[in-house]
Amino acid sequence: MYEYGARNYDPSVGRFFNMDNYAEQYLDLTPYQYGANNPVYFIDVNGDYIYIMDKGIRYKFDSGKLFAKDDEGNWAEHTPKAGSFLEQVYMELKSMYEFSGGSTGRTGDGGNSFGKSLLTLFNNDKNNVDIWESSKFPSSYFRDIMGFFNDKGKNLLLLNLNEKIEYYSYNNTFYTSDLMFIIGHELGHALSFYYGIKNRSDEWFTPPGHRALKKDEFFALFIENQLLNQFNKPARINYFTKDDFNKFDQKTIDKGYIINSETGEYLKNVNKHLNDYKKSIPLN
């Protein structure tokens, strides 16, 4: 008998003895697959909370606190090592949850913040995300990006703490994005995946020499902007970063707008798409 996290497999009969909760998510592959036929991660995640991976150890974020497995295999509150990847990510999640501190420098006042509402959606037996340090991955593509959510197989949120992005806002001004808002953006992608938004994979457009952008970016940017607003930061009105503005022509840049820079309102096509999301995802 082999233990795969939430499920057990008996090779003598070729059967699992527990249901794969996400089997129907990957019917486009084959109805007989397990774990989306992922050849790398043969671990069946139990499906709860936000987890942070650091130096091969899995930690759990739950209601503003960090937990690690003790010697008896039970979750116990944990204090991360100062300066570690674990501590940096935990402090950002804690800040988002408590509406304080983190890289924003806010003193905070707690309460029912948008960040708390967002993170609470992961405190259940269905939605989960594993946060990994992307600079540890062998692929140069993953090493060089600030944030990425992988919804194929194991659901990973990859972060590169060494990369910084400058987002575009009103009055032709760029602002350096705090790590918290990058995490929020990627959690937006995770939510649309878990809630099965059918049009999340609709194509937006393809910048020159770039992968095709999906309209799911509308929702991820919406989540990011909700958090920015919570911490009194200027909105991100265009998908492209400062590096992109220096790389692409104006015609391409113009396609990246989601908010009208004069009115401050989401563009009609973006708002229409967001309304479909809001019907399915219970965010305050």
DSSP 194-224: HTT-GGGG-EEE--TTSPPEETHHHHHHHHH
Segment (H or E) for 269: helix 268-278
> Per residue of the chain (284 residues), what is the pLDDT tens digit?
555 445 565 666 666 566 555 455 444 445 555 554 443 334 344 445 889 989 889 999 998 999 999 999 999 999 999 999 999 999 999 999 988 544 444 444 455 688 988 998 887 667 778 888 877 665 544 444 455 665 554 567 888 887 788 999 999 999 999 999 999 998 999 888 888 888 889 999 999 998 899 999 999 999 999 999 999 999 999 999 999 999 999 999 999 999 999 999 999 999 999 998 988 888 76
Tell whether 220 and 170 lie within a shared domain.
Answer: yes
Domain end call among 118, 143, 163: 163
Tell whether 13 and 57 lie within a shared domain.
Answer: no
Tell whether 268 and 199 lie within a shared domain.
Answer: yes
Tell whether 207 and 270 lie within a shared domain.
Answer: yes
Closest CA to 184 of 111, 118, 235, 135: 118
Tell whether 105 and 4 lie within a shared domain.
Answer: no
Q: What domain range includes position 233?
A: 164-283
Neighbours of 45 (CB within 10 A): 19
Q: In this predicted structure, what is the pLDDT of residue 156?
A: 72
pTM of the model: 0.77
Tell whether 191 and 142 lie within a shared domain.
Answer: no
Q: In this predicted structure, what is the pLDDT of residue 26?
A: 43
Q: In this predicted structure, what is the pLDDT of residue 281?
A: 86
Tell whether 62 and 117 lie within a shared domain.
Answer: yes
Closest CA to 93 of 214, 10, 220, 186: 186
Tell whether 249 and 277 lie within a shared domain.
Answer: yes
Domain end call among 163, 181, 202: 163
* DSSP code per residue over 74-125: -EEE--PPTTSHHHHHHHHHHHHHHTSBGGGTB----SS-HHHHHHHTTSSS
Tell whether 154 and 52 lie within a shared domain.
Answer: yes
In the chain, the amino acid numbered 100 is S
Number of domain units in the chain: 3
Tell whether 180 and 154 lie within a shared domain.
Answer: no
Q: In this predicted structure, what is the pLDDT of residue 161?
A: 83
Tell whether 126 and 56 lie within a shared domain.
Answer: yes
Rounded CA-CA distance 12/35 in Å is 20
Tell whether 118 and 199 lie within a shared domain.
Answer: no
Rounded CA-CA distance 29/35 in Å is 11
